[in-house]
Chains A and B, each alone.
Chain A
Amino acid sequence: MNGVIDMRIEEHPILEKIEKGKLVSFELDGKVMSGYEDEPIAVALRAAGVMAHRHTSKYDKPRGIFCAIGRCTDCVMVVDGKPNVRTCVTPLKEGMKVQTQYGVSAKK
């Protein structure tokens, strides 16, 4: 899959192999993607080359991962129908339906 090998660190000079769960599939805006179970949704998205997680209400500007620890709320998306889910601290599960958030919903 495009980008998956590039962005993921296969072997790290200090950490060796970083433990990952099993490979699972999930959906992004209807498209089937894959990632590792229990890693943050944002990590799976970034590995697949997805940068914009949402578009803002007022100026319709793209936002993505900024702080990566669940504090800035820029990475929020609609997950399984629920908006404002912080993808950087939410573990990925098999079959999750992730949608790009526009304002506070999935509708453009």
Chain B
Amino acid sequence: MKRYELIVIGAGPAGLSAAIEAAKSGMEVIVFDENSRPGGQLFKQIHKFFGSKEHRAKVRGFKIGEELLEEAKKVKVKVVLSATVMGIFREKEITVMIDGEVNHFKADKIIVATGASENMVTFKGWTLPGVIGAGAAQTMMNLHGLRPGKKVLMLGSGNVGLVVSYQLKQAGCDVVAIIDAAPKIGGYGVHAAKVARLGVPFYLSNTIIEAQGEDCVNGVVIGEVDNKWNIIPGTEKHFDVDTICLAVGLSPMSQLLKAAGCDMEDSPKKGGLVPICDEYGETSIEGIFAAGDVSSIEEASSAMIEGRMAGAAAAKCAGYVEENSFIKRYHELEEALGQLRQGMFGPRSKGKDLKYTDEGIELSTSLLKNGYIDESEITNFPGVTINAKGIHPVIECTQNIPCNPCQDACINHCIKIGCNITSLPIVDENVKCTGCGMCVASCSGQAIFLVNETYEQGYATVTIPYEFLPLPKAGDMGIGLDRSGAEVCEVQVLEVRSAKPMDHTNLLTMKVPVDMAMKARFIKMKGAS
């Protein structure tokens, strides 16, 4: 029976990161993944990631996936695809189904990084064709170039629901609404704002009553719920849709670990049944580790760091890394992971009803309920400057999330966040802005705009990030939309800039009436539906 020093189960962000870390220390590593493509959920992610440079902020998910695969190849990690691990047995023997055959392998150490699966929510008609998981929508659009449908209702306002809704719009689908039974939006405010300014409405405290149709979905009825989850009569609303997307959370796929005999705990906070692990990711069975979503539902950025921790720990246990170097490496990773876990959406803040940012600024309730900041609130935030002279950045970043690519984007260093990456960005008004737009393109939340109130008599310019096709041209006329997606003025496109370092985030500069400078935040082209 073939023996490996390390077997990693799952070639997603955690699994690949673990394999790379262990291989770099000299271990012989093989990774098995049941899918025909590696990278787990990474290749479906077309948005730019958050965090800091070491967390690969500003890089699109699928690019991170490509980078991980390159790295794995360089350090000679073997990745076997379409290989389904069926069980972990005594003395770390595993059975793997490949090409219709059952193979046995033995390992010195095993790292389980099998990720998570989507949760279900039921309603009348949920089994009709046309009701799909949010992950399914991503798979169809981003892996296969297929629109899941023409008119979509999104159920779930966590980051997945928000991000996939935006991706649906990018793919040319119509998102009729995002609904959530919770009273406030669960995901990042900036993700919600991106979709809100496109005109997608949010219906919170709403649930799906019925998916209609005979052979497939042709409509949906939603209704408001009271605090006992009962539908309030008279609040029913109907939408014509052909697709309903479910984005209601993830649960760890930890069956392998349970079957292996690891001590498990049912932790609603972590997403479900998870193995009980120490700080390095080792389970109750010596030599079996867990990393990524399988140990606790978080983000891909956290999964990658956890993977590296487990990889380093496995290498140390196998004798490839000596104690002191390992402790040093562990603390580096722990620090990086800690940074990601801070802020409003971190595990420590989960469930808390926060009212203020760390800086003491009142959080926008409009953002949490409607998906957009109210104009009256916008100037409370340090990134928003209203300058009478010339072009300047306006950073509508209003929640403490671990993210700082904007800080490095400005060559004149006009944007400051500081060593705590969850701090709200501050714009230094004494620094002259060159209008290069790098900050606009670097913001993963697309929350930075360039505004020039003194462009010409009666007119201002607003430069927005634009990631849609067809790309408008200079001279095109359009309609300016405000943060809620409402049409507010006529605008003219002055310039559209695209540059390789901006990685498909085009900079669209539009001429707006001067009183719209702090209002207009998106554009609907004339002739578009």
Is there direct touching of A and B in the complex, by C-beta distance under 8 Å?
A: yes
Could you say which of A11, A43, A61, A64 contacts B144, with CB atoms under 8 Å apart? A43
Q: Judging by beta carbons under 8 Å apart, are A39 and B144 in contact?
A: yes
- Which B residues are CB-close (under 8 A) to A64? 129-130, 216
- Which B residues are CB-close (under 8 A) to A51? 129-130, 215-216
Q: Judging by beta carbons under 8 Å apart, are B215 and A62 in contact?
A: yes
Could you say which of A6, A13, A20, A61 contacts B150, with CB atoms under 8 Å apart? A6
Q: Judging by beta carbons under 8 Å apart, are A9 and B141 in contact?
A: yes
B99-136: which have CB < 8 Å to A?
Answer: 117-118, 127-133, 135-136
Q: Judging by beta carbons under 8 Å apart, are A40 and B144 in contact?
A: yes
- Which B residues are CB-close (under 8 A) to A52? 129, 215-216
Most buried by B among A9, A47, A89: A9
- Give the complex CA separation of A89 and B81 in angstroms: 13
A1-41: which have CB < 8 Å to B?
Answer: 6-9, 11-15, 18, 20, 39-40
Instruction: Name B's A-contacting residues (CB within 8 A).
Output: 35-36, 46, 60, 62, 117-118, 127-133, 135-136, 139-148, 150, 170-172, 214-216, 467-469, 504
Q: Judging by beta carbons under 8 Å apart, are A62 and B145 in contact?
A: no
- Known pairs A15-B142, A66-B132. 10 more at Cβ < 8 A? A8-B145, A12-B145, A13-B469, A18-B144, A20-B145, A52-B215, A65-B129, A65-B136, A67-B135, A68-B136
Q: Judging by beta carbons under 8 Å apart, are B129 and A14 in contact?
A: no
Instruction: Name A's B-contacting residues (CB within 8 A).
Output: 6-9, 11-15, 18, 20, 39-40, 43, 46-47, 51-53, 61-69, 71, 74, 88-89
Shortest A55–chain B CB gap in Å is: 10
A-B contact pairs, 26 of them (CB 8 A): A6-B150, A7-B146, A9-B141, A13-B504, A14-B60, A14-B467, A15-B62, A15-B142, A15-B145, A51-B216, A61-B127, A62-B214, A63-B127, A63-B129, A64-B129, A64-B130, A65-B132, A66-B131, A66-B133, A66-B136, A67-B118, A68-B135, A69-B135, A69-B136, A69-B139, A71-B117
- Give the complex CA separation of A51 and B135 in angstroms: 18
Q: Judging by beta carbons under 8 Å apart, are B46 and A14 in contact?
A: yes
- Which B residues are CB-close (under 8 A) to A6? 147, 150
Q: Judging by beta carbons under 8 Å apart, are B130 and A46 in contact?
A: no
Q: Judging by beta carbons under 8 Å apart, are A7 and B147 in contact?
A: yes
- Give the complex CA separation of A20 and B62 in angstroms: 18
- The closest CB in chain B to the CB of A75 belongs to B129
- Give the complex CA separation of A65 and B150 in angstroms: 15
List the count of A-B residue pairs having beta carbons below 8 Å apart: 92
Q: Judging by beta carbons under 8 Å apart, are B146 and A47 in contact?
A: yes
Tell me whether A43 and B146 are in contact in the complex, defined as CB-CB below 8 angstroms, given that A14-B467, A68-B135, A68-B136 are known contacts: yes
Q: Interface of chain B, helix or strand or loop or mixed? A: loop
- Give the complex CA separation of A12 and B142 in angstroms: 9
- Give the complex CA separation of A62 and B341 in angstroms: 43
- The closest CB in chain A to the CB of B148 belongs to A46
Q: Judging by beta carbons under 8 Å apart, are A13 and B216 in contact?
A: no
- The closest CB in chain A to the CB of B82 belongs to A89
- Give the complex CA separation of A62 and B46 in angstroms: 32
Most buried by B among A12, A40, A71, A74: A12
Shortest B122–chain A CB gap in Å is: 13
Could you say which of B118, B133, B145 contacts A18, with CB atoms under 8 Å apart? B145
Q: Judging by beta carbons under 8 Å apart, are B469 and A11 in contact?
A: yes
- Give the complex CA separation of A6 and B151 in angstroms: 12
- Which A residues are CB-close (under 8 A) to B136? 65-69
- Give the complex CA separation of A12 and B215 in angstroms: 30
- Give the complex CA separation of A36 and B467 in angstroms: 27
- Which B residues are CB-close (under 8 A) to A74? 127
Shortest B115–chain A CB gap in Å is: 11
Shortest A98–chain B CB gap in Å is: 15
Tell me whether A8 and B469 are in contact in the complex, defined as CB-CB below 8 angstroms, given that A15-B46, A62-B128, A64-B129 are known contacts: no
- Which A residues are CB-close (under 8 A) to B170? 12-14
- Give the complex CA separation of A95 and B454 in angstroms: 65
- Which A residues are CB-close (under 8 A) to B469? 11-13
